Amino acid sequence: MRADAFVDTNILLYAISTAPEEAARKQRAREILAQPDWGLSIQVLQEFYVNATRPPQPAMRHEDAEAAIRQLLLRPVADNNAALLLDALRLKARYQLSYWDAAIVAAAVQLGASVLYSEDLQDGQEIEGVTVVNPFPKA
């Protein structure tokens, strides 16, 4: 499957945030998720689950997080596999990224995305045809 855009974990986490100080980010994240053609990766789903259910005050119960993940699996999803691992290692070395950031970029490339929504990478940076967009500019 292909997707025009790729969402990083922080987009999903802001979309479920109950923190009043994150209300604007929550709204923006939900606007992104309302768009029709975006995808994500198994890594993003794993990170989402761990962070959404993390004690001492989880944002979601296990059952709710599992249900959300089952719905998200209906989107285009890049699998963690040997090809993605090798692409991530190549991107890590070439662009001096952390392995985990390189794996996110490799997954976006695998899905054919031209945009990667993330606050964790440099806004505007282009890597392998994918442009990083930080949808939460600092005020």
Given this model, what pLDDT does residue 123 score?
95
Cβ-count burial 90-104 (b if 16+ within 10 Å, e if not): ebbeeeebeeebbbb
Show Cβ contacts of residue 54 under 8 Å, excluding neighbours closer than 6 positions: none
Where exactly are the structural domains of the chain?
5-133
Query: What pTM, to 2 d.p., does this model score?
Result: 0.95
Contact at 8 Å (CB) between 30 and 23? Answer: no
Residues in the chain: 139
- What gap in Å lies between CA 135 and CA 127, rounded to an integer? 17
Q: Does domain 5-133 have CATH number 3.40.50.1010?
A: yes
- What gap in Å lies between CA 44 and CA 38, rounded to an integer? 13
Given this model, what pLDDT does residue 139 score?
53
Q: What's phi and psi for 131, nearest 5 deg?
A: -100, 125
**Residues of the chain whose pLDDT is less than 50?**
none
Q: Tens of pLDDT along 57-92?
A: 899 999 999 999 999 999 999 999 999 999 999 999
